[in-house]
């Protein structure tokens, strides 16, 4: 399969999945209105009219239909077949890739069903948490475990995996105060992971050359701080904007600043670390960076009912801008890296 045909296949799958999701979403909306499954304005909810629930059901159904149908097509193709699928899963998930894939699919489906029950019956927090922990343990039983630093034996890695799954699940739950926010963040995260996981040698070489070329230039720290200032500025402008077209402009340039900061900071950390310590330093950097985002979501979700979503997001942008500007002006050593 050539590179062009591979990308055409990806685009075709994306368009088909989007069309299927849009169709199922409309069906779920109609059913929610008919059954009275509505999210009424209250507390931290910022919408002013009852909004149909069950939209996530359309997204989940699309994911499982496309995933299972794709696996069935691959398994039934003479050129590829079941063995190719098994090898591909092991390459992606490690040993026993098939078992782990089943665990991920089963865990995701059960977590979705728990959310549906919660929408319909409004479960008490302790029962919802108990269900999330039980589903996470089931996923671990299928062999899906995160191993990090000292958390490598079965007991500690299981605890870490369960904690991570429950944390991510509840972080997304706290974003449901704004229509479309969970879906938008999921799309951005999925697109970023899809690009980062491309195995082509050309992309790997291009990234390596980009980092190497940029590393020859001085003041990488200054560029990163300027990027953070712009990111905070566009975030604040987006939060306080009342014009839809201007909001799109601020979101676009804020996204560009965000991606630039990700690349610059990751490159900077790798370049200033010694060869012997680079792996450990990057491990700490990634756990702090990726682990901090869900915690930030929890804090923002707690503050939103009190101050409002615009004030919380705008304040975060202003604080980021002020902090980056302070470091740029008063910490010359950091800016000179």
Per-residue pLDDT of the chain (337 residues; tens, 9 = 90+): 555 555 676 777 778 888 888 899 888 888 888 888 777 776 656 666 777 777 778 888 988 888 888 778 777 765 666 777 777 777 766 777 788 888 989 999 999 999 888 877 878 888 999 999 999 999 999 988 877 767 788 888 899 889 988 888 887 776 665 555 666 666 666 666 666 555 543 444 444 444 444 444 556 778 888 888 888 899 899 888 888 888 888 888 888 788 777 777 777 777 777 777 777 777 777 777 777 777 787 888 888 888 888 888 889 889 989 998 888 888 877 767 6
Rounded to two decimals, the pTM is: 0.56
The three state secondary structure string of the chain is CCHHHHHHHHHHHHHHHHHHHHHHHHHHHHHHHHHCCEECCCCCCCCCCCEECCHHHHHHHHHHHHHHHHHHHHHCCCCCHHHHHHHHHHHHHCCCHHHHHHHHHHHHHHHHHHHHHHHHHCCCHHHHHHHHHHHHHHHHHCCCCCCECCECCHHHHHHHHHHHHHHHHHHHHCCCCCCCHHHHHHHHHHHHHHHHCCCCHHHHHHHHHHHHHHHCCCCHHHHHHHHHHHHHHHHHHHHHCCCHHHHHHHHHHHHHHHHHHHHHHHHHHHHHCCCCCHHHHHHHHHHHHHHHHHHHHHHHHHHHHHHCHHHHHHHHHHHHHHHHHHHHHHCHHHHCC
Question: For 55-66, what is each residue's pLDDT tens digit?
Answer: 778 888 988 888
- For 183-207, b where at least 16 C-beta lie within 10 A, e where not — what string? eeeeeeeeeeeeeeeeeeeeeeeee
**Contact call for residues 328 and 226 (beta carbons, < 8 A):** yes
Predicted local distance difference test score (pLDDT) of residue 136 = 93
Domain ranges across the chain: 3-183, 200-335
- For 209-231, what is each residue's pLDDT tens digit? 444 444 445 567 788 888 888 88
pLDDT (0 to 100) of residue 2: 54
């Amino acid at each position: 399969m050539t590179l062009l045909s591979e990308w055409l296949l990806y685009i075709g799958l994306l368009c088909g999945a989007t069309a299927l999701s849009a169709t199922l979403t409309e069906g779920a909306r109609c059913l929610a209105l008919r059954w009275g499954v509505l999210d009424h304005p209250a507390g931290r909810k910022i919408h002013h009219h009852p909004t149909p629930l069950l939209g996530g059901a359309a997204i989940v159904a699309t994911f499982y239909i496309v995933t299972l149908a794709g696996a069935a097509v691959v398994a039934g193709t003479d050129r590829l077949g079941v063995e190719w699928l098994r090898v591909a899963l092991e390459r992606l998930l490690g040993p026993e890739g098939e078992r782990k894939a089943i665990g991920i699919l089963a865990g995701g489906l059960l977590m979705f069903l728990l959310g549906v029950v919660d929408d319909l019956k409004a479960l008490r927090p302790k029962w919802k948490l108990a269900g999330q922990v039980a589903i996470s343990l089931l996923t671990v039983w299928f062999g899906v475990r995160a191993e990090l630093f000292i958390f490598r034996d079965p007991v500690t890695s299981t605890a870490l995996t369960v904690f991570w799954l429950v944390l991510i699940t509840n972080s997304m739950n706290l974003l449901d105060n704004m229509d479309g926010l969970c879906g938008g963040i999921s799309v951005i995260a999925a697109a970023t992971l899809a690009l980062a996981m491309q195995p082509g040698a050309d992309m790997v070489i291009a990234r390596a050359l980009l980092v190497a070329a940029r590393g020859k230039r001085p003041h990488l720290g200054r560029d990163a701080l300027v990027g953070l200032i712009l990111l905070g500025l566009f975030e604040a402008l987006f939060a306080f904007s009342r014009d839809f077209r201007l909001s799109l402009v601020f979101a676009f340039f804020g996204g560009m600043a965000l991606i630039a900061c990700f690349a610059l900071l990751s490159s900077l950390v790798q370049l200033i670390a010694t060869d012997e310590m680079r792996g450990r330093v990057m491990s700490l950097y990634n756990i702090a960076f990726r682990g901090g985002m869900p915690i930030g979501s929890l804090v923002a979700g707690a503050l939103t009912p009190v101050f409002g979503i615009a004030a919380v997001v705008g304040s975060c942008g202003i604080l980021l801008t002020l902090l980056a500007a302070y470091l740029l002006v008063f910490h010359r050593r950091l800016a000179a890296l």
